[in-house]
Structure formats: structure tokens, C-alpha cells
Amino acid sequence: MTTAPDADTPLHLAGNNAPVTEEVTVEPTWMAGQIPSELEGIFVRNGPNPRTGWSPHYFAGDGMVHAVALSGGSARWYRNRYVRTPLYANPGRSRADLAFDPATATIDYRVTTANTHLLAHAGRLLALEEGGFPYQLTPDLNTLGPYIFGGALATPMTAHPKVCPVTGELLFFGTQLRPPYLTYYRASPAGEILQAQVVETPRATMMHDFAITEHHVVFMDLPVVFDLAAPGGPGWRWSDAHQARFGVMARTGGAVRWFEVAPCYVWHTLNAFETNSIVTLTGTRVSSLWRGGSDDISGGQPRLHRWRLNLTHGTVTEEQIDDEAVEYPRVADTVIGHAHHFGYVTSFSLDAHPSNSRIHRYDFTHSVTRHTHQLPDGHTCGEAVFVPRHSTTSENDGYLLTFAHDRARGTGYLLILDATDVTAAPIAEVHLPARIPNGFHGTWIPTPETPPK
Ligand SMILES: [Fe+2]
């Protein structure tokens, strides 16, 4: 059941942020609507779930992956599994204690929560967290171990790699707290790392996401810096002295061209693309972050923002494009790095117990229009993942999948919406005899051997 609001329970462990205590494999208890029979595959989502029941920060909980398998118009099973990392194996031990070897002054990147995102590429399913190596999972969510691309990965890996829908290449970066602070990687469609390039930056900044275009990648070097002397111990904090800037580099590497932007933090990019030497990037922006330490949320709520970087003139224009507080921006995987007409986000609230969530679909075709699906009172959800219909050529022709929480029942469900009509009643709800805590990011893994019906 959901933890009752309690003044002694920190926000990140209260309500549906509270961890669950069991790993289960169960069948749904009841359904509403009809699951489209063409949805053949597994919806997976990662998130923090501290094994001890306590963690010092929302981001610090052990990674737990939740999945529902859909086939033939039915939901076959739900299961949740911890990612077996050294932190999981040593509950209560601090990350710094496990990862840092004072004798050699080295950091063991196998020590990670692996709690942020999931990547399906080259036949592998990887659980990602930006401070460590990926962990490879089976489709049944069992942990195989750390995955370092045959030894080619020398740094942590971002939780937000991009797969080019045209070339199948995997593009990503890794950051470290010591030089080299930033390394760029490009891998083949088969998952072989073709390129690893150090990108010179002056200090460690918290770089959570990036973006790609047809020919370029875009890094976000923003003013959340790693400070060994931060109040409360080494950690991330806002720095007015660090110039916010975006760096554009060819996908094949080389020099980075930096564009100074107004101070901000951007957790997530929606997408980016290039037309006529202008790179357009859309993301969720706050005006500052963690000015008073990593529990300070005074920088406000994120809103969709658009930057245009002119590669000919070296100029930048930027604008907030909607006033709604939103997060978890996604586009169809088929348009990543390319011009897009649509985007999908979830409402964002700093309230400890929001009454309900909203999923918004943006249409950028002519201006910016927003259509909204509002969940019932007491129902909240996380990131909505777009899944295309079979054989469609229309960017928006598909479904939105997310895990939701029914506070009154204390249980979770998979929510399936029609992306072409998000305001309509759900296509289906798959209700589960288990609670699914709030989490971060996920993906849809189609079953390749099953032909569409
Ligand atoms: Fe993220």
C-alpha cells in the first residue's frame, strides 16, 4: 500500500515514491478496454527503489525495473526486478565507500544504481545510470552483469543515449568527476564502439541528457558543477560563475562549437534537428537548479523551451514555447534527430501528493498546440512512451504507454492511450495486484519474431 503522508517521511520516500519490498511475477487482476493485438512486446521502465527502504536522495535508490508483456491482445505478466549491482549486494554501504579505492585513487564504475533508463540496442537490454557502467539484463529482467562494449567503454555512460532511426548508430557520452570530464562515443548498429573522443570542458558539470541531429550532436554544459567543498560534502550545486552553453559537434567528432545561452538547467531534451545550418533543440528548462544544494527546488518547475543555434552566424535565439509545467519529454523513436511535428510529455508538480497527472501531446506543425489526457482524481503516472502502429508512415499514428498509480486502490496499472486522440478515454488499462512506485524512464521492446496480426 501507499505510504501515508507523514511529516517524518522525506518527499522522495513518501506516497508513491516509497519503495516496494518484493519482487513478484504476477498476472493482471482486471482489465478495462481492449489491448491492441498489434502491441506484441514488453513495456519496461526503470526507477529508484532503495533496498533498505531508505536513501539519502531520490536519485540514489537501487534500480528496479518494472515490465509488462503484451501479446495477442492480452497482458501475459507483470514483473519487477532489482538490477543486481554491488550497491544492491551491499545494502547500507555508501556508494563512495564501495566505489572509491583510496589506495589507487580509482573509481569502480561497476558501482552504480543502474536506476534511470533502459536501452534496447543490438539485441541487448541495458539498465543505465549516468555515474556508472550499464548493466545488461535478460528480457525476463535478470541481471547478467556490467556491460562495457567489449572493453571499449572507459567511463560511465549517460542514461540518455540516442539511437539514430536512419543509420541505427548508437550515440552517447560519458562524464567523470575528474579529467577527462566528457567523452563522446559512437557505436555501430551492431553495438561496436567505432569512436571514443574526449571533449575538452573546463570542469565537471552535471550533463544528464544531450541531443542529436542528422549530422551533429549537441552537448549541454550547464551551471550545475561538482564541488568538492560544497556544504554537506562533495556534490553538485548551482554556480553563477559557470557560463551556460550548448556545444555542437559533428557526429563523426572533431571540434566543438560552443553557443552561450541564458543560465538554466535542462534535464531532458525533447528532440533536435537541423535545417539550413540552424540546429533547433527543444527541452524542459528551469531557470536554476540546486542553488542551495541538491534538495533545493527553488529554481521552479520545468517548461518547454526552444533554442535555435545558427551555425552560420554563431548566434542563438531562445524562447519558452508553453507555460505548462512538464517533464519526461519524448518523441517517436523514428524522428529522433530529425524534424518532428509531435511531442509527448507528462505534467510536473512539486506537490508531494499531486491529485492527478496529465499527459500532453504537443503538435508543433504550425504553431504550438497542446492536447491533454487528464487521469482521474487520485491517479498519477510517469513518462509516456510512444509506440507506433504497425506499417504506419505517420509520425503520430500509435499509442502512448505509461505506468500509472491508483491511490485509492494502492495499486498500479499500465495505461494505453491513442496518440492520435489523447483526450479520448484510454484504449486499455491493465490493472495489477502490485504497486509500481514512481520512476524515471522506459522503453517499448517489440517482439521481433511475432508477426503483426
Ligand atoms: Fe532522465
User: If you measure from the C-alpha of residue 37 to the centroid of ligand 1, how many angstroms do you get, rounded to a whole number?
Assistant: 30
Q: What is the per-residue pLDDT across 34-48, written as a single tens digit (0 to 9) for each?
A: 999 999 999 999 999
Tell whether the model's pLDDT for residue 450 goes beyond 50: no
> What is the overall mean pLDDT for the chain?
94
Q: Which pLDDT score, from 0 to 100, does residue 6 have?
A: 59
Among the listed residues 174, 168, 166, the one whose alpha carbon sits nearest the alpha carbon of residue 148: 174
User: If you measure from the C-alpha of residue 266 to the centroid of ligand 1, how many angstroms do you get, rounded to a whole number?
Assistant: 10
Tell whether the model's pLDDT for residue 134 goes beyond 60: yes
User: If you measure from the C-alpha of residue 236 to the centroid of ligand 1, how many angstroms do you get, rounded to a whole number?
Assistant: 16
Pairwise CA distance, residues 414 & 401, whole Å: 7
Q: Which amino acid is at 346?
A: T
Q: For residue 186, what are the CA distances in angstroms to 70, 149, 157?
A: 32, 11, 12
User: If you measure from the C-alpha of residue 328 to the centroid of ligand 1, how many angstroms do you get, rounded to a whole number?
Assistant: 7
Strand order in the sheet with 257-260: 211-212, 216-221, 245-250, 257-260
Q: How far apart are the first and last CA of the chain?
A: 38
Q: What is the per-residue pLDDT across 399-436, written as a single tens digit (0 to 9) for each?
A: 999 999 999 999 999 999 999 999 999 999 999 999 99
User: If you measure from the C-alpha of residue 375 to the centroid of ligand 1, how many angstroms do you get, rounded to a whole number?
Assistant: 23
Q: Which pLDDT score, from 0 to 100, does residue 352 have?
A: 66
Pairwise CA distance, residues 200 & 161, whole Å: 20
Q: Kindly state the percentage of the chain with pLDDT values over 90.
A: 89
Q: How confident is the model at residue 97 (pLDDT cuts 50, 70, 90)?
A: very high
Q: Which pLDDT score, from 0 to 100, does residue 7 have?
A: 64
User: If you measure from the C-alpha of residue 159 to the centroid of ligand 1, how many angstroms do you get, rounded to a whole number?
Assistant: 7
CB 14 within 8 A of CB 2: no
Q: Which regions of 341-441 does DSSP assign to beta strands (E)?
A: 342-347, 358-363, 369-374, 379-381, 385-388, 398-406, 411-418, 428-431
User: If you measure from the C-alpha of residue 128 to the centroid of ligand 1, how many angstroms do you get, rounded to a whole number?
Assistant: 10
Q: Which pLDDT score, from 0 to 100, does residue 421 have?
A: 98
Pairwise CA distance, residues 46 & 103, whole Å: 34
User: If you measure from the C-alpha of residue 14 to the centroid of ligand 1, how many angstroms do you get, rounded to a whole number?
Assistant: 21
- Average pLDDT in the 162-176 region? 98
Please give the model's pTM, rounded to 2 decimal places.
0.96
User: If you measure from the C-alpha of residue 440 to the centroid of ligand 1, how many angstroms do you get, rounded to a whole number?
Assistant: 7
User: If you measure from the C-alpha of residue 442 to the centroid of ligand 1, how many angstroms do you get, rounded to a whole number?
Assistant: 10
Phi, psi of 415 (to 5 degrees): -105, 130
Tell whether the model's pLDDT for residue 18 goes beyond 70: yes
- Average pLDDT in the 212-229 region? 96
Q: What is the per-residue pLDDT across 337-355, written as a single tens digit (0 to 9) for each?
A: 999 999 999 998 777 677 8
Instruction: Assign 286 to helix, strand or coil.
Output: strand
Tell whether the model's pLDDT for residue 2 goes beyond 70: no
Q: What is the per-residue pLDDT across 269-319, written as a single tens digit (0 to 9) for each?
A: 999 999 999 999 999 999 999 888 777 777 789 999 999 999 999 999 999
User: If you measure from the C-alpha of residue 329 to the centroid of ligand 1, how many angstroms do you get, rounded to a whole number?
Assistant: 10
Q: How confident is the model at residue 108 (pLDDT cuts 50, 70, 90)?
A: very high
**Residue 392 cell numbers, joined:** 504506419
Pairwise CA distance, residues 134 & 132, whole Å: 7
Using CA atoms of 390, 391, 392, 398 in order, give the dihedral in degrees to the nearest 10: 0
